[in-house]
Structure 1
């Protein structure tokens, strides 16, 4: 039998046992020794497969080594099988990211274990250990991923349907965000970003404020999304998260801002190309390599937003771009906007029955205009509201007389 040479392929004395043996650097990256069996074509094939995986990881072709071999029927094996399915491929990128983040807390404890042998006591110790060491947010995410994965594993017939031991644990939920921006703060941010050269970011913030689109929907806008209806000009999209249709109208101020930005690019943006870009880099007195702006990604948008936020509002400000979406609904609600109008404005279903929302409240321009008007009305009311509640002492003998909308001291 011919002998061939393979990287990291080791033959034990006598050739009865062979291994694909990673170096210490490869072990740090997550790769482990792999038994290949007796020396021969089958062993060579296994070794070459793992060598190809290492090379793909080393060159950055794959995000993770996916190098660990889990026992058949284990939790890790089930997750690897799930990630090879068309169901996994059909998930939204953000959803897959959530699964991957949750898996990082599951894998060290349960990767090698059969799911049917994981008891309530084991899962209880795991969850409360995460809760104590890493806090509510990470423990919540890990438990959320576990429960979703358990349903997949039950579908694979690796464990009983409806017998998830984690259901006996009352999971703590992290508090939801409640921060909002005011119109004046949004204007200050846009002006600060424009002055500092973050003109694509300035447009993103202005559009996000007017349309109540999510950050990912705004940074993904293209010229092909622009539509005009009578005096209104804006963007018609399908939301990336829910695939719901949404029409976002722009104020005259934002329209001028976007058109000025596009005119200043000096190039024509294709109908299917993202419009808003990073500021790039122009060499200063010390020189350097010029760099043109590129379409915003999730990370670059977060970084640039944080830089401008710090310049305009100081280092203690922690509100995010996503909070502007909530600001729009707060204004519309304060102005008496109907749920149907707000739903059409935001491109989601905010009451209990999403199916009925889709059937009976399709996106329409009249509803979007109603939500815009409610926002303007609510903005005025919120700006006029300056009275703050203060302690009222109710004591015997103290005279009070009624006031409009409440009581006050005599």
Structure 2
């Protein structure tokens, strides 16, 4: 075999390695196991040396860490470049990235075929104790989805994921709901406190059963009118399902009043509802106009408003209003198909038929609204129905 000299390439016990310097590591590069010393290992080393030289010259600066070939991180980076990844909703990609944070430090540089049940068991147990059941479960969910991707890349055996032997602990689902009276109190409290965009968000969320992200991103172009009502026609941010959210006359007046008071002309694709901004008080300060709500700013403002209206002990969230609408409609006798059309998801058993025969079915939406009003009355009558029964015999 001819002797070849490659920069940063070293041979140890018959195997080739491309070894990085501290400067190279600062650019995101790491050591690469090239395989048995020979032409194939040399080609791998040349490929990584070329990447480094382009990065060093500023021609191809890596934005992410560079992983060894055929490693878990290498596979994930390949997946990010596919159209399949690009088609995933933004919130789904965020979930993958959140789970990846727990996978990367332990398994990022390893070949998936060498990862064993014992390694995964210790990893899952560690994150369960450090981050809790919810985050550990998210990490495990991401790993299992990524394993199927890596199997499709021929990096590990298909349908032989060792993690399937681990029983994942589930987080109990949320059950909290709001009542109509409580929603009205929040809306009034928000309007009086200057959170007028937030007041509209709460009112719209209550009427439409949209999720918080779907409400805070509503634009004028999504406002639609039918023969009987008007509301917003959307493609849900998480599932992409179409949904039409109808507004009560009270919420219609609130939204129109808010838009008139904005003092600006809203573009068709501009978010309608904005934060309250800041107006200088007696102590002065810099005035700041309201801006469209982000996920974090909406959570923070709603927490402040909830504390203002109900006190520090209240922990229910804005997202619970979506569940409240489903509970009311179910109590009023609405069919699962009507609730599915109202919420813009596929909670009914036959998703294909629902998409085929009930795409944004206005009759079903109105039926769900009517059932909500009926269920709201029934739930109000049953409040405090259960009382503690003493059977001590004394």
Normalised to the residue count of structure 2, the TM-score between the two structures is 0.85
Residue matched to 2:5: none
Q: Structure 1, residues 236-286: CA drift from partner, whole Å, max 9, x if none?
A: 111111221111111111011001000101111122211101111112222
Distance 1:51 1:340 in 2: 52
Following TM superposition, by how much is the alpha carbon of 1:394 offset from its aligned partner in structure 2, in angstroms?
A: 11
Normalised to the residue count of structure 1, the TM-score between the two structures is 0.82
Q: Give yes or no for contact 2:30–2:67 (8 Å, CA) kept in 1.
A: no
Following TM superposition, by how much is the alpha carbon of 1:341 offset from its aligned partner in structure 2, in angstroms?
A: 1.1
Confirm whether residue 339 of structure 1 aligns to residue 326 of structure 2: no
Distance 1:374 1:362 in 2: 20
Confirm whether residue 113 of structure 1 aligns to residue 122 of structure 2: no
Task: Find 1:391's aligned residue among 366, 389, 392.
Answer: 389
Residue matched to 2:299: 302
Distance 2:52 2:280 in 1: 55
Confirm whether residue 47 of structure 1 aligns to residue 56 of structure 2: yes
Distance 2:379 2:239 in 1: 30
- How many pairs does the alignment contain? 362
Q: CA RMSD in A?
A: 2.6
Task: Find 2:182's aligned residue among 181, 185, 195.
Answer: 185
Secondary structure of the residue aligned to 1:261 is: helix
Distance 1:279 1:269 in 2: 16
Secondary structure of the residue aligned to 2:245 is: strand
Q: 1:283 to 1:297 in 2, by over 3 A?
A: same
Q: Give yes or no for contact 1:18–1:43 (8 Å, CA) kept in 2.
A: no
Task: Find 1:358's aligned residue among 342, 347, 355.
Answer: 355
Distance 2:269 2:52 in 1: 48
User: What residue ranges of structure 1 are gaps of 5+ in the alignment?
Assistant: 1-9, 11-16, 54-64, 396-410
Distance 2:51 2:200 in 1: 58
Task: Find 1:251's aligned residue among 243, 248, 251.
Answer: 248
Q: 1:100 to 1:371 in 2, by over 3 A?
A: same
Residue matched to 1:208: 205
Q: 1:84 to 1:41 in 2, by over 3 A?
A: closer
Q: Structure 1, residues 122-158: CA drift from partner, whole Å, max 9, x if none?
A: 1112112222232211110010000000011001110
Secondary structure of the residue aligned to 1:371 is: helix
Which range moved further: 295-304 or 252-261? 295-304
Distance 2:288 2:306 in 1: 23
Residue matched to 2:36: none
Secondary structure of the residue aligned to 1:248 is: strand
User: What residue ranges of structure 2 are gaps of 5+ in the alignment?
Assistant: 1-7, 9-17, 33-44
Q: Give yes or no for contact 1:247–1:363 (8 Å, CA) kept in 2.
A: yes
Distance 1:210 1:90 in 2: 30
Q: Structure 1, residues 324-382: CA drift from partner, whole Å, max 9, x if none?
A: 00000000101111111111111111122211211233322211111111000111111
Secondary structure of the residue aligned to 1:329 is: helix
Confirm whether residue 311 of structure 1 aligns to residue 308 of structure 2: yes
Task: Find 2:172's aligned residue among 175, 185, 188.
Answer: 175
Distance 1:351 1:305 in 2: 31
Distance 1:95 1:41 in 2: 34
Residue matched to 2:268: 271
Q: Structure 1, residues 143-195: CA drift from partner, whole Å, max 9, x if none?
A: 00000000110011100110111111111111111110111111111111111
Residue matched to 2:237: 240
Secondary structure of the residue aligned to 1:124 is: helix
